[in-house]
Structure 1
Amino acid sequence: MTPEDRFPGPEHPDSGPRHQPDLDVLPYGTYYEPEPAGGYPEASYEAETYSGYGGARYLEQHWPAPGQDQEHDAPHTTGHHPGYEQPLPDHSSPAAAHQSDDPPTIELGPPFTEPGLPYHPYPAPGPGEPPGPLYVVGDVHGYLDELRSELRHQGLIDADGHWSAGRSRIWFLGDFTDRGPDGIGVIDLVMQLAAEAAAAGGYCRALMGNHELLFLGAARYGDEPVQSTAGTASFLAAWRLNGGQQHDLDRLEGHHISWLSRLPAIALEDGHLLLHSDTTAYLEYGDSIAAVNDAVHDLLADEGVDEWWDCFRRFTKRFAFRGDAGPMAVHELLDTYGGARVVHGHSPIPYLTGAVHADDGAPPHIPGPYIYADDLAVAMDGGVTMEGRLLVARLPI
């Protein structure tokens, strides 16, 4: 298991029950590096995109060593977020204050302008009018400046941060918050772009990542105990261990919760099966895209803390598509849900390729999306939290 996603409980180094790949066997794959977009200086783009905030050094300094007691690494407090009509947890302890200073995802219409208001469907292309180009965005994890820089570089937003891509289509692959400096700012930007894209005849949509489940669970259930084989655990403790930022929880409002809770877990677009996690766990929630999304939405609407916890843990599994058994795992998903290729986030490309640490200590070089598993899988998490790169790419690759 990589240090990216930790929670109290036994480690799950593989991503699904259908095979047990050797994690020392690296995938055979290639990088895709698109030509730089015209009209935007490449030098300034790189300077803005390669972030030194947090990164691998943060993981090394703050990650518990093997065998360390993780049950009590973060303080346990009680309380829930006001978006769920409960008082906020008390994070006034010194350990919590220190953690908050550390750097560290449905088919939606435009977001609610006010909680409870209806939304409108996206306009369909006119007769004979093809859809606009399709883009995907990898894990953002609160790195708002890097996201704006990359969207600007791709010509998708203007200098003021507004939609400038006409009928283009964008899918965010999940994990908006945690570890980076402004997760709520990222969510607000995506919601803004969803409305602006719809008005222009395009769309901006997003998947639910495991960090959306974790963030919502921390807000709703706080330090309420969950059933864990490692003993007492809670969403709040797990959220903190995974880079949860107190300022994000403080700014979380009802309309954010409504929007995040309705994100789909899986989507199919132009023959690309879009997932957050590189896992086969989706198969445990249904044999169609609609069934999986309905099952997750029903769980978030009606089920209790243990069901939420189980869902979070399933979608935190990873590495199902690497190694010799990887193509078979991809085919399981494609044969069930359709599509010709899987596009996912979740597992940082430096971990997939084994290039986490360079000999000279330089940040990992991520020229673009990583294509592997017999060209059936495209990895989009460029490792922005470990001084890699926030990836935005046009499909097909």
Structure 2
Amino acid sequence: MTPEDRFPGPEHPHSGPRHQPDLDVLPYGTYYEPEPAQGYQDTPYEAETYSGYGGARYLEQHWHDGQGQGHTVHAQVGYEGGYEPQERGGYGQQDHTGYEPTLPDQPSPALQLADQLTDQLGDQLTDRDDPPTIELGPPLPDPSAPTYPYPAPGPGEPPGPVYVVGDVHGYLEELRAELHHQGLIDDGGHWSAGRARIWFLGDFTDRGPDGIGVIDLVMQLAAEAAAAGGYCRALMGNHELLFLGAAKYGDEPVQSTAGTASFLAAWRLNGGQQNDLDRLEAHHISWLSRLPAMGLEDGHLLLHSDTTAYLEYGESIPDVNDAVHSLLADGGVDEWWDCFRRFTKRFAFRGDAGPMAVHELLDTFGGSRVVHGHSPIPYLTGAVHADDGQPPHIPGPYVYADDLAVAMDGGVTMEGRLLVARLPI
């Protein structure tokens, strides 16, 4: 049994029907119930709805129609994580197979006269100390340069609002729908959020039908957001480690006490989709391998997993990210597997000891609140075990651990919801 979570996958030909496995969860109502927080004062377009559930708070955000509309911005710039778009072979190339140009044996008199005049002009320019120059004037505007349907960023202007996106797991259409609902992309699927900042919390692939499509969309938005003065960034989740390990090491044995013989076997057990592996290209691997393990944004410590295992890799955010990147670059299969195993741990912030675990991370890495994915909210609250057999009701992000932790995995793989939310919550 792999130490991974083995949550159910979607109902499509690659993963089969969904099942509801049991997970150990704490009894209902063990969390501190704080008073509803005040709405974000700089957010006139949001209406906040709170409801008590599972001893903690949910927050559901409604984006009013007509707000956040924008236009497409196209630009070829570097993607987050070091990826740069690559030219595909064949574009702009001509096929000259079988064609060999022929030249006359002797040039025409006109060509001979032109050659003589050129030689004379060249001799004159060579003899002069200061050859003539031509005033070129201002450069012509670049037709491919980005245009701004909103004012360009000014010097010292504060950054835009921050959004976080929970686990996507290959559900590309659900992601597009939610981003569009929040006003972050337009009808064509392009960035329309201006200088807003978006962080994806990891787990792009596995269980859902189009993990590679999700990765391509995030990379595209990273370029378009940069051109608009915002940014789109992403964290490395445990499924990124699993996916990369399956691609790199395949069936190579690993030292595991859980009975899984290889990365490839663990990946398949945890919803790996063969069509994603078949479409994985070098630029995907390069981009995924450079994703940070954690980040800090406006006082929010952003993690994928609700675990304290990050403390085992360093005492600062750069140290942790460098350690993970070095491991992926130089580590062997057993080091990769150990890293995957550590970042698969979960539920560190639940129960009486949960706030203490959160404080341990915040005291080390900074911030005043942890925002994470990884553990689906239905498992955190026990909603997956509903007696009526209905899909779990996920009205929004789940706030718990004395208001110190925000869970963003809405359980899209188990008929829950793919969550996109604006910070602070």
Q: Could you say which TM-score interval applies, normalised by the shorter chain?
A: 0.7 to 0.9
- Say which of 100, 105, 108 aligns to 2:80: 108
- Structure 1, 140-149 or 355-364: larger mean CA deviation: 355-364
* Counterpart-to-counterpart distance in 2, 1:384 and 1:294: 31
Q: Describe the SS at the equivalent of 1:204.
A: strand
Q: Is the 8 A contact 1:111 1:195 kept in 2?
A: no
SS in 1 for 2:340: helix
- Deviation track 1:372-394 (CA, whole Å, cap 9, x = no partner) reads 00000000000000000000000
Q: CA deviation at 1:114?
A: 1.9
Quick one: which of 161, 179, 192 aligns to 1:151?
179
Q: CA deviation at 1:109?
A: 5.8
**Hey, what's the Cα distance between the residues in 2 that align with 1:32 and 1:226?**
42
Alpha-carbon separation, structure 1, partners of 2:162 and 2:192: 14
Which residue number in structure 2 is paired with residue 201 of structure 1? 229
The residue aligned with 2:418 is: 390
Q: What's the secondary structure of 2:60's corresponding residue?
A: coil
Tell me if 1:247 matches 2:309. no
Residue 298 of structure 1 aligns with an amino acid whose one-letter code is S
Q: Which runs of 5+ in 2 are unaligned?
A: 10-22, 32-54, 68-78, 88-151
Secondary structure of the residue that 1:34 maps to in structure 2? strand
- Give the distance between the partners of 1:288 and 1:161, measured in 2 at CA: 36
Distance 1:283 1:155 in 2: 36
The answer to whether structure 1 residue 354 and structure 2 residue 326 are counterparts is: no
Aligned-residue CA RMSD (Å): 2.1
**Aligned length in residues:** 310
Deviation at 1:232, TM superposition (A): 5.8
The 1:228–1:110 alpha-carbon spacing in structure 2 relative to 1, beyond 3 Å, is closer
Partner of 1:4: 7
Counterpart CA distance in 2 for 1:273 and 1:198 is 22
Q: Distance in 1 between matches of 2:359 and 2:320?
A: 17
Aligned to 1:282: 310
State the alpha-carbon separation in 1 of the partners of residues 187 and 259 from structure 2. Answer: 50
1:289·1:337 contact (CA, 8 Å) conserved in 2?
A: yes
Whole-angstrom distance in 2 between the partners of 1:111 and 1:304: 24
Residue matched to 2:61: 34
User: CA separation in 1, counterparts of 2:192 and 2:217?
Assistant: 14
Paired letter, 2:272: G
Q: Conserved in 2, the CA contact under 8 Å of 1:110 and 1:198? A: no
1:175 aligns with 2:178: no
Q: Sort the Cα spacing of 1:232 and 1:152 in 2 relative to 1 into closer, same or farther, 3 A.
A: closer
Per the normalisation by structure 2, the TM-score is: 0.70
Say if 2:266 is the partner of 1:238: yes
Q: Is the 8 A contact 2:290 2:325 kept in 1?
A: yes
User: In the aligned structure 2, how far is the partner of 1:145 from the partner of 1:239?
Assistant: 23
Would the aligned equivalents of 1:167 and 1:200 in 2 still touch at CA under 8 Å? yes
Aligned-pair distance for 1:111? 3.4
Q: What letter matches 2:358 in structure 1?
A: V
**d(CA) in 2 for partners of 1:290 and 1:392?**
26
Task: Give how far 1:23 is off.
Answer: 3.8
**Which residue is equivalent to 2:145?**
none
Preserved CA contact (<8 Å) 1:142 1:182: yes
Using the TM superposition, give the Cα deviation of residue 326 of structure 1 relative to its aligned residue in structure 2, in angstroms.
0.2
1:255 Cα shift?
0.1
C-alpha displacement of 1:126: 4.1
Contact 1:110–1:195 (Cα < 8 Å) also in 2: no
Do 1:5 and 1:316's aligned partners in 2 also have CA atoms closer than 8 Å?
A: no
Amino acid at match of 1:394: R
Change in CA separation of 1:291 and 1:36 when aligned onto 2, cut-off 3 Å: same
2:323 is matched with which residue?
295
Matching residue of 1:220: 248
Match among 376, 400, 403 for residue 375 of structure 1: 403
Larger Rg: 2
Q: Which residue matches 1:304?
A: 332
State the distance in 2 between where 1:129 and 1:271 align. 19
CA contact (8 A) 2:6 2:269 kept: no
Give 4+ residue runs of structure 1 displaced > 4 Å after superposition. none
Task: Report if aligned partners of 1:135, 1:171 keep a CA contact under 8 Å in 2.
Answer: yes
Partner Cα separation in structure 2 for residue 197 and residue 37 of structure 1: 22
Q: Secondary structure at the match of 1:32?
A: strand
- Contact kept? 1:216, 1:257, Cα under 8 Å: yes
